[in-house]
Amino acid sequence: MPDLMTSKNTSQEQAVLHSSPGSSSPLHFDTIILGAGGAGMMCAIQAAQRGRRVVLLDHAQKIGGKILISGGGRCNFTNLNAGPFNYVSKNPHFCKSALSRYTPADFIRMVKDHEIPFHEKKLGQLFCDGSAQNIVQMLSKECKRAGAEFQLGLKISKVEKQEHFLVHSSRGVFTSECLVVATGGLSIPKIGATGLGYEIAKQFGHSLVATAPALDGFTFSEAEGLRFKDLAGVSADVIIQCNKVSFRENILFTHAGLSGPAALQASLHWNPGDSIAINLLPDLKATEWLRKHKKQNTRTEMKNLLSQILPRRFAEKFCELYFNTSLPLAQVPESTLEEFGNRLNHWELFPEKTVGYSKAEVTRGGVNTDEVSSKTMESKKVPGLYFIGEVLDVTGWLGGYNFQWAWASGWAAGQEA
């Protein structure tokens, strides 16, 4: 994208500023929102309800693409437990204001007003009973009821600021007093994710916290992958820990590494070179449990005993790799028993990388929140410029937290933009 700041418009640009192609309608708005996803639509609703003339611009042909594919098509639209602790950011205090002013209860109220049936799946995660399309339709109706306009399927070539913001597009130049960047991150490029928001931020003098794919699971090195290739499809309930943050949910072995909710959660806190630790028996002190069975003078082999509480394929592979004896449990030396028990409760692995943006649910990092107002989402560098949603360095856990951040940050900006 070219440099943002220019001295003046060309005469051709001046002409297009005041009329849409094929009509005499002006292209000047009070607020332009780049991105018609969850955060953008929430912002549009709030701004338009204040009497602002609002337009949402998006290169996609359909609105709410990420909403539609979330939660297996049912949209995990919020989490009852959402709070600042559930978010990762260089500035962990930034999200507090918006989250406290627009809560899960506020969004639930909107869902109920539109008579959308929903349920709690687990751990405070709320899903539509039907299709995620219900949430998109709800937001679209609220936007149109408030008077916000959509311009979809257009390409943005340049953004700049003179007296007003100018957004140069394949349909002419749009101008506005306020510009809201709600373009999302780099995750899932197949639905249109781009780095446009980061480019705009940098061109207006904002710094970025390094971005990385997150909530996307892990891949092993080639050698490690060969050791576990037979486990593809095996799932287990575990506690997984990464950088002193732990989650209890399922892991799922894949052909390349680890997936499942617990692995996805851990990936949010993982950096290249870090280890992850897995407690395979989260309800047991493994060494004590093994000693108890040994005292019973059992003739059971370890793989058979372990198969009583872990998937058989996994139990057999784990014993093959880490328990080098076929002696019955009663004859296993105490030191061997203790070492194996410790490994069951603390199995350390070193993933090679995460799966990447193609599968990542979110992008970690983004626009540095030290340079943005936590109350209004307005840039501290450029008056009238706002950043909301995933483009900011605020990333939530798996389970509806990122949608709640979209609603909360969009709502906050919509009170001012």
Q: What pLDDT is recorded for position 296?
A: 87
Domain's final residue, options 324, 354, 384: 354
Tell whether 85 and 178 lie within a shared domain.
yes
**In this structure, what CATH number is given to the domain that contains residue 37?**
3.50.50.60
- Ranges of the chain with pLDDT below 50: 1-26
Q: What is the pLDDT of residue 11?
A: 28
Burial letters 43-73, b for 16+ CB under 10 A, else e: bbbbbbbeebbbbbbbbbeebbbbbbebbee
Q: What is the pLDDT of residue 117?
A: 98
On whether residue 18 sits in a domain, the answer given is: yes
Q: C-alpha dihedral over 281, 282, 285, 290, to 10 degrees?
A: -10
Residue ending a domain, among 327, 354, 381, is: 354
Asked whether residue 246 is assigned to any structural domain, the reply reads: yes
Do 61 and 205 lie in a common domain? yes
**Is 75 in the same domain as 173?**
yes
Same domain, 225 and 202: no
79 plus 190 within the same structural domain: yes
Q: For residues 127 and 182, state if they share a domain.
A: yes
Residue 318, CA distances (Å) to 53, 280, 306 in order: 62, 11, 9
Residue 3 belongs to a domain: no
Q: Residue 122 burial by CB count (10 A; 0-12/13-18/19+): exposed, middle or buried?
A: exposed
**Burial tier of 292 (Cβ tally within 10 Å: 0-12, 13-18, 19+):** exposed
Does one domain contain both 203 and 231?
no
**What residues contact 339, with CB distance under 8 A and at least 6 apart?**
none
Let me know if residue 58 belongs to a domain: yes
Is residue 340 located within the same domain as residue 393?
no
pLDDT of residue 33: 98
Residue 6 counted as domain residue:
no
For 176, the domain range is 11-212+363-414
In a domain? residue 257: yes
Q: What's phi and psi for 241, nearest 5 deg?
A: -125, 140
- pLDDT score, position 383: 98
**Which residues make Cβ contacts (< 8 Å) with residue 101, sequence separation at least 6?**
408, 411, 412
Number of domains in the chain: 2
Q: What is the pLDDT of residue 20?
A: 39
CATH number at residue 321: 2.40.30.10
Same domain, residue pair 305 and 238: yes
Give the pLDDT score at 324: 82
- How far apart CA 41 and CA 62 sit, in angstroms, is 13
User: Closest by alpha carbon to 395, among 264, 275, 278?
Assistant: 264
Partner residues linked to 127 by β-bridges: 76, 119
pLDDT tens-digit profile of 7-47? 333 322 332 333 333 333 448 999 999 999 999 999 999 99
Task: Indicate if 64 and 109 belong to the same structural domain.
Answer: yes
Claim to verify: residue 191 and residue 306 sit in the same structural domain: no
**How confident is the model over 276-300, as pLDDT tens digits?**
999 999 999 999 999 999 988 778 9
4 located within any domain = no
Contact by Cβ (8 Å): 63, 123: no
Same domain, 263 and 394: no
| 128 occurs within a structural domain | yes
